[in-house]
Amino acid sequence: MFAFLLRRLGWAILTVWIVYTVTFFLMRSVPGGPFDGERQLPEEVERNLLEKYNLNDPVHIQYFNGIRDIVANPIGEKFGPSIRLADYNVDEVIAQGFPVSASLGIFAMVFALLLGMTSGVISAIKRNSALDVGFMAAATLGISVPSFVLASVAVIVFVFWIPIFPAAGWGELSQILLPALCLGAPFAGYIARLTRTGMLEVLGQDYIRTAYAKGLATRRVVVRHALRGAILPVVSYLGPAVAGILTGSLIVERIFYLPGMGSHFIEAALQRDYPLAMGMVLVYTCLLYVMNTLVDISYGVIDPRVKVE
Amino acid sequence: MSDVSDNAELPNQPVPDTGKRDLEYYARILEEARSIKGTSLWQDAWKQLKRNRAAMVSLVFLILLAVLAFFTPLLPLQSPIYQDIEQRQLSAPSFSAIPLYPESIFENDEQLPKLSNESEIASRKQEILVTTLWNNPGTVSQWLIKLRLSVFGTWSIPSLCGTDNLGRDVLSRVFWGARVSIIVGIVATFVSLLIGVSYGAISGFMGGKVDNIMMRIVDVIYSVPFIFVVIFMITIVKEDQISAVLEKWGIDQIKVFFIMIGMIYWLTMARVVRGQVISLKNEQFVEAARTIGASPTRIIFKHLIPNVMGIVIVYLTLTIPAVMRFEAFLSFLGLGVEAPDVSWGLLVNEGIQVITPIKTYGWLVLYPGLTLALTLFALSFLGDGLRDALDPKMKNK
């Protein structure tokens, strides 16, 4: 287990370094800097600005300085000041946006898991019934409708036509609910299909018949015996799902005007706010890596046959 | 299927003793073998697919969509780009007929008053129409538009889906957007196919260290949040200086965009193909080819790739909707297709932009969103059906 984590850490560092390098040179290969606006700045001012953001050094020095800052500085001062949000440090922007994005993502994930697994199990038990067909059609619809279409329609219907949700804002449960539902819907659909397939496979096996023969109630057989085996494909899907939720949050945060990381990131990339964009990309990379590792570990916990290596 | 009783009789034939009769005997067997018709994988798959009603309905829908998209210039639609802010801004869906263009469209032209010959005037008028009512159509489209003008004249379908904030007809824009969205889906998927299949095939065929390194690279790329890198790359390509350089090479933004999307979606394809190739390369027919002295390139491209085609097609039908969704996603963020080009994602985005607490213009979001959703829905149903038909082992997965 320890060796596994150590190796994972090694790969994580390598990945982060590659992402850093690629992002760095991608950003620097764009002609012009972040200060080439419509307004020509006086030379003096521009020089001072470049100095403030350490952009007047040669590129390779900037590259190594960036790495040094990230490795050596404590959390909170890793990325330096943001260019677009001039009064803030990049770390502060991330610290403000992260809780919003994280709670949105967690809500969406929980919703996707609850809805997806419940409907998947019901579909499998009542195979080929109207309920099954209905659930699976809804799941396919959920997978194929892009989240921004869903979110836009949801805004029109549930905010303007039938005003039961607030349009924007952050902090209350009613404000987080609608965006989380929109973000989670495609994943709920996918999880429902995976659960159904897994359940169908498991329900045909001998040990399930044994459990029934012992006289156990259907409910207990399904929850205790079948679900545990059926859930494995869902667990291995969680890795890609986390990546998808990260991507989807860009859209949902934009539509619902949520003050998360996603909206900052797009602006940062578009306006060439080098430090902010770099900070965002690295945070997202680490997040993805941590989640994937957690998924791999939990795989071993659920199925003792799988050795974590 | 062959008739077994026929074959069973063969050993009972008198054993041939001379070379000539031997030949005759073999000729007869050959003849018989030719008369037996097996079902190929593809025929079998087609049979299976025909039985799947949802997949067939989707297939018909998609073919219809493709045909309509191709012949969009010929359809009596309104102009997708002509703006009439004063009179038709954000008008709701209606059935009242609207002429294709107001007569005032010819007023500002300098050449028109100088012309006296009637046929010259007519051709000049047509030229004005083609350049102001449509966005830079290609040769085929221009030809179709001229045909449309001569067949339907100024008549056009009313704004059944309403108009947008610049007074443009939504129905027409949805149709023109279909062309872009579909082409993105096809071209980008083709790019990903090209990269994924060759990468996977080479990696699987070489095996050993090369395979190990190539797959490690895929692993690392997998754990990169690719969307962010893509957003960077797109902002770079959109930069004026860079796009000017690319333009010199004959690459416009939309082509770069296709290739970029294709370059993201090859990873899964590469993995799948590699797995398949590894299991295939120890088969006898590959060994036979190697014994005859076929080069590795020949073995990969002539023997292995045709055999992985089934699974590749399955992944293809799953990649196309993913790519289309990604295009819509990027266009929605303002990073993809740019005005005056249209795509479905862009249309939805335009619809969202004009939503205010005072008034929502539902049709602006609804129609493009609905078409996009229906198309993706059909594609995923067709993909599922094809997977069941081509790869029975993966059924219901």
Task: Inform me whether the C-beta atom of residue A161 falls under 8 Å from chain B C-beta atoms.
Answer: yes
- Residues with Cβ within 8 Å of B247's Cβ and at least 6 positions away in sequence, in order, are none
By percentage, how much of chain A surpasses pLDDT 90? 9
Cα–Cα separations (whole angstroms), residue B378 to B41, B54, B332, B381:
24, 8, 22, 5
d(Cα B80, Cα B340) in Å, to the nearest integer? 9
Q: Please determine, for residue B218, whether its predicted confidence score (pLDDT) is greater than 60.
A: yes
The string of pLDDT tens digits covering residues A65-96 is 888 878 777 776 777 777 766 677 888 888 88
Task: Inform me whether the C-beta atom of residue B373 falls under 8 Å from chain A C-beta atoms.
Answer: yes
**C-beta separation of B78 from B156 below 8 A:** yes
Task: Tell if the CB–CB gap between A141 and B355 is shorter than 8 Å.
Answer: no
Task: Inform me whether the C-beta atom of residue B360 falls under 8 Å from chain A C-beta atoms.
Answer: yes
Give the residue from A103, A192, A198 showing the smallest Cα distance to A142.
A192
Beta bridge pairs of residue A81: A89
d(Cα B216, Cα A265) in Å, to the nearest integer? 29
Mean pLDDT estimate for chain B:
78
- Mutation for testing the B interface, residue in A29, A36, A84, A156 having most B CBs under 10 Å: A156
User: pTM score, two decimals?
Assistant: 0.78
- Choose among B233, B329, B380: nearest Cβ to A148: B329
pLDDT of residue A31: 62
- B207 band by pLDDT with thresholds 50, 70 and 90: confident
pLDDT of residue B4: 44
- Choose among A29, A160, A254: nearest Cβ to B360: A160
- In this structure, the number of other CB atoms found within 10 A of the CB of residue B15 comes to 9
Determine the Cα angle at A240 with ends A224 and A5, to 5°.
80
pLDDT of residue A192: 92
Task: Inform me whether the C-beta atom of residue A67 falls under 8 Å from chain B C-beta atoms.
Answer: no
Interface of A with B in 239-258 (CB under 8 A): 243, 246-247, 250-251, 254-255
Q: Please determine, for residue A47, whether its predicted confidence score (pLDDT) is greater than 90.
A: no
**Cα-to-chain-centroid distance, residue A157:** 26
- Choose among B231, B365, B396: nearest Cβ to A153: B365
pLDDT of residue B393: 55
Task: Tell if the CB–CB gap between A145 and B348 is shorter than 8 Å.
Answer: no
Mean pLDDT along residues A236-265: 83
- A188 band by pLDDT with thresholds 50, 70 and 90: very high
Distance from the A49 Cα atom to the nearest Cα atom in chain B, whole angstroms: 22
Mean pLDDT along residues A99-114: 91
By percentage, how much of chain B surpasses pLDDT 90? 3
pLDDT of residue B392: 56
ipTM metric: 0.78
- Choose among A148, A161, A288: nearest Cβ to B223: A288
Residues of B in contact with A243 (CB under 8 A): 225
Residue B244: burial class (beta carbons within 10 Å; 0-12, 13-18, 19+): exposed
pLDDT of residue A107: 92
Nearest CA in chain A to B330: A251
pLDDT of residue B82: 74
Mean pLDDT along residues B280-291: 86
**C-beta separation of B100 from B107 below 8 A:** no
d(Cα A254, Cα B251) in Å, to the nearest integer? 31
Q: Please determine, for residue A38, whether its predicted confidence score (pLDDT) is greater than 90.
A: no
